[in-house]
Structure formats: C-alpha cells, structure tokens
Amino acid sequence: MRMCLTSDQGGYYTSQREGRDQFGRKGDFITSPEISQIFGELIGIWFVAEWMAQGRKNKGIELLEIGPGRGTLMDDMLRVCPPSKQRVCQGPKLIECQTIRNFKPMASSIEAVYLVEASPSLREAQKQLLCGDAPMTETSIGFQSTSKHANLPVIWTENIRFVPSGN
C-alpha cells in the first residue's frame, strides 16, 4: 500500500501530473473538511473541550494530523482558537473584531503543529493555506514554516516515526 500511495514513481499522492487533483468534485473523492468548514471548526471546539477536561495544560500541546490533504481541516481547527484579534470578511470589506471564540490560554499552550505528509505537492498546498508567504525551511525531520494562526511552528514529516515522542 505504501508503494501504491507514496512511491515517487507513480504513487497516488506523490506523482505529479498536470491538472491532476485527487480531491473534490473532479477528483476521486471528497472529504468532510472540503465540504464544509463546520466540520473542522467542530473538531477544533472538541479539541478545546478536551483541553479543558484534561486540566487546561498551559504548555506542551502538540497537534498532529496524518494525511492532511490540502490542510483544510487543520486550518479550520486553528481558526477556532485564535490568540487575539482576527480578520473576518463581512461582505466586500474586511473588519477587525474580537472573536467570541477567543481561547487565548489554550491557543498559547500549543507549541507545534505536526503534519505527516509524503507528497511534496500536497505539502506545498498545506504550506500555502496554513502559512501563506512564510518561508519553508528544511529540518532534520522534514520541513518547517510558521502558521498564519498565532505564529505556531508547522512541521512536516514524511513518516510518523519522525515526529518526536513526548515524555
């Protein structure tokens, strides 16, 4: 299965063909985060509830997503818990407002976001969505950039074995 999905020679996720997209209406399948942002936002709210239920830890939280596709789920989750102000589109103009979903203590406890992704093209799509124009640098375990959400480090690795294990 690994060779079929991630081989650099014809792997389903890693081979690059002009105009090919595995996801969406013209792709092979569609995932819940691609249908509605509500799915990712609900996962984000669940994450906040779990953080509260587990004692509101003030540091050391790491988010991990395996096979993040375009990064839509993580983007929606991180939008639920911004650290302070966020930009909200309201009609044709942008306004700055304080969000009612402001979970600053929880957001500041997140130390890193790990994405396990073997596809260079999907990794680039995730970087654009989650980090925008922030540079991506190579690290000992993969790649790293900075999220547009709260300046969190976003770290990509090709295999879950490279994600540092906690104490």
Give the DSSP per-residue string, 105-163. Answer: HHHHHEEEEEEE---HHHHHHHHHHHHTTS--EE-SSSEEEE-TTTT-EEEEESSGGGS
Q: Do the domain assignments include residue 95?
A: yes
For the whole model, what pTM was predicted? Answer: 0.80
Q: Is residue 12 part of a domain?
A: no
Asked whether residue 14 is assigned to any structural domain, the reply reads no
Say if 94 falls within a structural domain. yes
Q: State the residue range of the domain holding 54.
A: 26-161
pLDDT in tens, the chain (167 residues): 878 877 777 777 777 666 667 777 777 778 888 888 899 989 988 988 898 899 988 888 899 999 999 999 999 988 876 654 444 445 444 443 334 345 777 878 889 999 999 888 889 999 999 999 999 999 999 999 999 877 889 999 999 999 988 64
Cα torsion angle, 56, 106, 46, 113, sign: negative
Write down the residue that tokens 């060779």 correspond to.
Answer: 3
The domain total for the chain is 1
